[in-house]
Amino acid sequence: MDVKLGRVVITGAAGRIGPTVREGLREDADHLVLVDTADIQPEDGAETAVEADIGDRAALCEAFRGADAVVHLAAITDEAGFDDLLDANVRGTLNVLEAARRAGVPRVVLFSSNRVTGNYPIHHHVFPDEPPRPDGFYGVTKVAAEALGQLYADTFGLEVVALRVGSFEEQPTETRHLATWLSPRDCVGFVRAAITAPNVNFVAAYAVSGNARRFWDLSVGESELGYRPVDDASVYAGDFPDDDPFWHGGPQGGDFAGPEALLPHLGE
Ligand SMILES: NC(=O)c1ccc[n+]([C@@H]2O[C@H](COP(=O)([O-])OP(=O)(O)OC[C@H]3O[C@@H](n4cnc5c(N)ncnc54)[C@H](O)[C@@H]3O)[C@@H](O)[C@H]2O)c1
């Protein structure tokens, strides 16, 4: 199929997921603009690298000019001090949305996280419109980032897709990943769908492979974005014990949830 993606900005392009997204979009994009605080080597003619912090709204406005979509990955991506998370994940997302509005970019794809609902128990099948139950401060900031996306969609008509990413890995490396794995191929599939889906106002969808043991509903991704994942972590099930205590109960966030995970970040 002939898919044109136009000019696409990727924030956080130098991180773990960025290179996979970059590779997966490059062929069908007119141009990629790669924003990160880390140094990136752009491909001649096809890419531009912009060394900028998402705290710098003016730099984002400049980088976003003429873009058709922004894929926003840059973040603090695990539990951390609340103020740092607020700056990077909430104020940073606000800057991205506001810069997109000012630069006239029609669509923003926010990388949210499964951890916005990480405190639901593992036996609960979660739909994206159920109330958030974040498993830590990181999840709280992703809830706020999604809410900012909804605000910009409702107020300004910005098209916003929040992808609640599972566990992005080449292949599952722990028992929990049998439920939460997002393969690189499905990651690219979800991002491409989030950029190209028609008639988007605000969509929040889980981005997880079609794992038989997943906790999350995929029907919104299919109906609103037109993407059905192709991989399934079940093919790796033999690598992990069937009787792992993880399956006995507890929060979907696993070791990311609970007092031991949060207490170190509560300060004095
Ligand atoms: N990796 C996963 O399994 C996973 C799961 C759920 C959600 N996510 C989300 O996906 C996105 C990408 O995750 P990742 O694993 O690639 O993260 P990562 O930590 O590997 O990469 C993040 C990138 O963002 C950049 N960055 C951080 N703060 C910045 C700032 N203030 N300004 C500009 N650049 C900044 C970093 O330099 C880095 O290159 C994040 O939003 C994360 O919350 C990831």
pLDDT score of 172? 98
Domain assignment present for 139: yes
Looking at residue 204, which CATH number applies to its domain? 3.40.50.720
Q: Ligand 1: which residue has its CA nearest to atom 38?
A: 15
11: containing domain? 6-265
* Cα of 238 from ligand 1 centre, angstroms: 30
40 domain-assigned: yes
CA 266 to chain centre: 25
Q: Is 168 inside any structural domain?
A: yes
Q: What digits encode the pLDDT tens for the residues 98-153?
A: 999 999 999 999 999 999 999 999 999 999 999 999 999 999 999 999 999 999 99
Q: Are 103 and 65 in contact (CB under 8 A)?
A: yes
Residue nearest to atom 11 of ligand 1 (CA): 73
Q: SS3 for 112? A: strand
Q: Give the mean pLDDT of the chain.
A: 97
DSSP 251: B
Q: What pLDDT shows up at residue 261?
A: 94
Residue from 21, 73, 93 whose mutation best tests the ligand 1 pocket (most atoms within 8 A of CB): 73
Nearest-angstrom CA–CA distance, 137 and 140: 5
- Atom 34 of ligand 1 has which residue's CA nearest to it? 36
Is 1 part of a structural domain of the chain? no
Ligand 1 neighbourhood includes 251 CB (under 6 angstroms): no
Q: What confidence tens digit (pLDDT) does each residue in 17-57 have?
A: 999 999 999 999 999 999 999 999 999 999 999 999 999 99
Ligand 1 mean position, distance from CA 15 (Å)? 6
Q: What is the pLDDT of residue 129?
A: 96
How many helices and strands in the chain, by DSSP H and E? 9, 9
Instruction: Judge if the beta carbon of residue 256 lies within 6 A of ligand 1.
Output: no
Bridge pairing between strands 69-72 and 6-11? parallel
**Mean pLDDT calculated for residue range 252-264:** 95
Structure tokens at 165: 């990413």
Domain count, the chain: 1
Please report which helix (H) or strand (E) contains residue 36, including its range: strand 29-36
The pLDDT of residue 173: 98
Q: Read off the pLDDT band of 268 (50, 70, 90).
A: confident
* Mean pLDDT confidence for 187-197: 98
**Is 186 domain-assigned?**
yes
Residue 84 lies in a domain: yes
Mean pLDDT over 68-96 rounds to: 97
Examine residue 199 and state whether it is found in any structural domain, yes or no. Answer: yes
* Whole-number pLDDT of residue 267: 84
Own/partner contacts of 63-67, CB < 8 Å, gap of 24 or more, are 63/9, 63/33, 63/35, 63/99, 64/9, 64/33, 64/99, 64/100, 64/102, 64/103, 64/105, 65/103, 66/7, 66/103, 67/6, 67/7, 67/8, 67/9, 67/33, 67/100, 67/103, 67/105
| Confidence category of residue 1, pLDDT binned at 50, 70, 90 | low
Catalytic residues: 138
Separation of alpha carbons 55 and 142, rounded Å: 16
Q: Could you tell me if residue 221 is inside a domain? A: yes
Pocket test for ligand 1, best of 17, 60, 93 (most atoms within 8 A of CB): 17
Task: State the average pLDDT over residues 10-19.
Answer: 98
CA of 168 from ligand 1 middle (Å) equals: 11
Between CA 197 and CA 114 the distance in angstroms is 21
